[in-house]
Chains A and B, each alone.
Chain A
Amino acid sequence: MAVTGYLSEFSLAEIFSFLEQGNKTGLLTLCTLSDAQPGDRENHYIWLNQGRIVAAANRLDQHGLAYMIGQRGWLGEHTALRVAQTCAATTPIGLSLKTQGLLTVEQLKLLFYTQVMRQVCSLFALKDAWFQFDGKAPLPFAEMTGLNAPATEVTLAALRVLKDWSALTSKLPESTSAIMNIVEGKPQLKLNQQEWHLWEFANGTISLQAIAQQLQLPLEKVQQTAFRLVTVGLVEEIPLVKTIPAAKLQPEAMPMEAATTEATPVSHSFLHNLVGFLKGKV
């Protein structure tokens, strides 16, 4: 079943986290919305293999990478396309070109950076777009350099340079929440200084507001950094209990027994009787 929605509901950072966590293979399509400026409306395509981004393009004719190679003057576009047609059906064109001595490893890395890192990172600035993930779409070997990057690594790079966070305001961890580290040992990803500082506070007990005060950073920056750590799967947000207002200590209509009785275990026979009773309602 295709997964669909809008970036305003499920951000690109969340999508990438979902695709990586799920080891997804397929095609993520982003369509900018109809009220965008006509010159701005276009579709964006990102292909993944087991949660790793392998290619990106704004066209589906599998000529995007060949065009990039041609533009740089490394090889004619037609030559690159001819190689794509003659190489094995499951071999990325980049690997074929390298094997034939037509492109170097450094050139492939540069292509991957332009095709994936720059193109995909720019998509994080979209205010909204319709998205669909198709897990049945085949991999576009003629668009693939043979290199790949974990989806969340791209997320981290993109969010670090994101200037306008207004589309993500509702997704940011709350100032009264703490963060808790959920990986064993040190993170495998390369964190920057701010991210490391925040990581050291990820014990689930200190609010982001308190962390911001301790690190002498704007709260907004701490929340954005925390969001980055959450979406790449290093920490999770832990809401902290707010101080009980005196006026709310006796909530209306609260059964007194619930206010005073401890949660003592229930017996086997209770549970069996309950299941038997409920089965009569199914």
Chain B
Amino acid sequence: MEIMRLVVTGPVGAGKSTFIRSVSEIAVVDTDRRATDETSLLKQKTTVAFDFGRLSFGAEMALHLYGTPGQSRFDFMWDILIQKAHAYILLVAAHRPSEFIDARRICAFMRQRSPVPMIIGLTHMDAPDAWDLENAAIALGYRSVHTRPPIIAVDPTQTASVAQAVITLVQHSMQDCLVEHPI
């Protein structure tokens, strides 16, 4: 069985659980718990361990999706997930600049621990106060289009949009030395 592991990460409320749910063929192993403290101001529930989803294609091929906990106090889970990941996507809500600093922290954490390919998915781009892609990129610390990872708009509630995001990540991965060399 050949399995690709993709980690979906980002600040609380960016749409990680929704993203996985939109594309998983199985009911997502849902470890949502009642949100505590300031997180409850954003949403009622938040992932405390992680979400797990699966997409099978072909006889012996599957994509496993893991969603990191939204609250950074669960860093030890991230470390376990990152070591196993082939690639990851960082989801960031474009209409919540208060979360950009947390997105940068997550990015720095991931970058320190794993060289695997990543892309950034901006969610809630249809919100009236959403920052546009270029400005969000600069605010996230990427001033040059030549040195930043691919940044795309994604709607985690739409299967087509999520599928397109995963395609972008996979194609980006193919440009990096992810694959085994052909014989």
Taking Cβ atoms with an 8 Å cutoff, the residues of A that contact B are 1, 3-5, 8-10, 14, 18, 21-23, 170-171, 174, 177, 180, 204, 236-245, 248, 251-255, 257-259, 261-263, 265-268, 270-271, 273-275, 277-279, 281-282
Contacts and interface: CB of A to CB of B under 8 A. Distances in A.
B35 interface: no
B5 interface: yes
B179 A14 contact: no
B49 A237 contact: no
Given A241-B76, A274-B170, A263 B83 contact: yes
B135 A270 contact: no
A253 B138 contact: no
Interface residues of B, number: 63
29 contacts: A10-B97, A10-B98, A14-B97, A18-B135, A18-B138, A177-B105, A237-B104, A237-B105, A239-B108, A241-B76, A244-B76, A251-B49, A254-B52, A258-B66, A261-B3, A263-B84, A263-B85, A266-B86, A267-B179, A267-B180, A268-B180, A268-B182, A270-B61, A271-B178, A273-B58, A274-B57, A274-B166, A275-B171, A282-B167
A258 B108 contact: no
B112 A204 contact: yes
Contact of B97 (A5, A174, A243): A5
Contacts of A268: 174, 179-180, 182
Contacts of A242: 73, 75-76
Given A263-B86, A271-B179, A282-B163, A9 B98 contact: yes
Top 8 closest pairs, chain A to chain B, by CB:
A9-B98, A277-B57, A10-B97, A281-B163, A22-B138, A278-B163, A265-B180, A239-B109
A1 to B, nearest CB: 5
A274 B62 CA distance: 8
Contact of B57 (A1, A254, A273): A273
- Count chain B CB atoms within 10 A of each CB in A254, A259, A278, A279 and give the residue with the most: A278
A277 B164 CA distance: 11
A153 to B, nearest CB: 17
Contact of A253 (B5, B29, B129, B139): B29
B126 interface: no
A274 B75 contact: no
Nearest to A205: B112
Given A266-B179, A273-B61, A238 B76 contact: no
B31 A241 contact: no
Nearest to A22: B138
B181 to A, nearest CB: 9
A266 B108 contact: no
A238 B139 contact: no
Contact of A18 (B106, B139, B170): B139
Contact of A14 (B79, B139, B171): B139
B157 to A, nearest CB: 14
B18 interface: no
B71 to A, nearest CB: 12
Contacts of B164: 278, 282
Interface in B154-183: 159-160, 163-164, 166-167, 170-171, 173-174, 178-180, 182
A267 B2 contact: yes
Contacts of A254: 49-50, 52
A248 B78 CA distance: 13
